[in-house]
Amino acid sequence: MTRPVSPGDARALLETSEAIWHQRFELAPGIWTPGAHDIGHLLARFGLPAESLRGRSVLDIGTTNGGAALIAERAGASRVVAVDIYDERFFGFAAVRELLDARVEFVQASVYELPGLLAERFDVVFFLGVVYHLRHPLLAVDAVWELARGRVLVESAICDGLEPWAPGRSAAAFYRRDEVGGDWSNWFLPTARTLRDWFESSGFEVLDGAVWPEERPERALLDCVVSEGEPEHRRHAYEKRLWVTSELTRPAAGDGSQGTRQP
């Protein structure tokens, strides 16, 4: 559990930090990080932390400033692992964790590497603001399936409001350069329908979803759970599986195990 922090200490950290702040979350009463994305508001749209995370294991893929991971620890998660491709100091994660005396574990890795590095499954996986930054989005969704045994919360940019041909279609736009937001890392923006199709094809049941803004949607979220049995694409495709951990035995629904490697 994180410790209470005085507003003065939180303010001092923000004034001296050279981190890039993407996320907005409360460090101390009345003191918020200066990012544009309100991570607490986003998690509230998923019903968190009103639905308690107490006693659950949580994986936060693409943690950046660590807001979702730290909120999960404050909500009583038993174990929280935060992942980013950058060093934990780049987005200020290390400084925030030290300030709050948090127990969140940090792993520097890409989503593609995680199944082999962690070799376990988590009760709740956050996959927020990541998929459209990836050159290989379906490989990433397959990796998330390897890491989840329960709920997966997904948030992504979408192209429905950006491209005239996009709304309602199952398609994704590829941006070779920095056409979206001046950011070279925005590679594939799916439509809202495609985002759902990617996850349903990859072994998830989508319980709920939303898009915003309503008239020209540019963001979407999915609330998913892992489906029973093999993912749909494995039942029909003939290409070779790429994940070492694809030989993990998926536990039966509700047995709480993490799975073991087959001989």
Each residue's pLDDT tens digit, 194-224: 999 999 999 999 999 999 999 999 999 999 9
pLDDT of residue 243: 57
- Say if CB 224 and CB 205 are below 8 A apart: yes
Q: How far apart are CA 83 and CA 59, in angstroms?
A: 8
Per the prediction, the chain carries an average pLDDT of: 91
Which of 3.40.50.720, 2.60.40.290, 3.40.50.150, 3.20.20.20 would CATH assign to domain 10-247? 3.40.50.150
Domain assignments of the chain as residue spans, ordered by start: 10-247
Each residue's pLDDT tens digit, 52-108: 799 999 999 999 999 999 999 999 999 999 999 999 999 999 999 999 999 999 999
Q: How far apart are CA 108 and CA 118, in angstroms?
A: 12
Q: What one-character-per-residue DSSP string does 56-116 give? A: -EEEEET-TT-HHHHHHHHTT-SEEEEEESS-TTTTSHHHHHHHHT---EEEE--TTTHHH
Single-letter amino acid, residue 65: N
How far, in whole angstroms, is CA 87 from its chain's centroid? 17
pLDDT of residue 246: 43
